[in-house]
Structure 1
Amino acid sequence: MTDDRGAPDDLNAATIEAVVKGRLGRPLRYLDETPSTNSEALGWAQAGAPEGALVVAGHQTTGRGRWGREWFSPAGTALTFSLVLRPPLDPSSAGLLTAAVGVACAVGIRSSSALRPRLKWPNDVMLDGRKVAGILLESRVEAGRIRAVVAGVGVNVKTLTNAPTDVAERATAIADHVERPPSRALLLADILAGLEDLYRDAATAGFARRVIEEATGLSEVLGRGVMVRLAGGGSLEGRAERLTSRGELEVRTEDALVTVHSGEIERLRTS
Structure 2
Amino acid sequence: MQNVSKKYPQIKAYQLKKGTTLFRFTTYLGVDPLTGKEKIVTRSKFKTVKQAELAIDKLKFEFSNGLNPANMLKTFNDAYVKWDALYKASGIVMSTYSKTEGYIKNHILPFFGDKKLSKITVAMCEQFALELSKKLKYFHHIVNYASDVMEMAIRHGDIHSNPFKIAKIPKETAHQKSDNYIDITDFKKLLSVLPNYDLMIQCLLRLLMFTGLRKGESIVLTWSDVDFDKKELLVHSAYSYSKHNNGNNVGLTKGKLDRTILLDSNTLELY
Q: Report if TM-score (shorter chain) is over 0.5.
A: no
Bigger fraction of residues in strand:
1
TM-score, structure 2 normalization: 0.24
Bigger fraction of residues in helix:
2
TM-score, structure 1 normalization: 0.24
The structure having more radius of gyration, on CA atoms, is 2
- For CA contacts below 8 A with separation 6 or more, give which structure has more relative contact order: 1
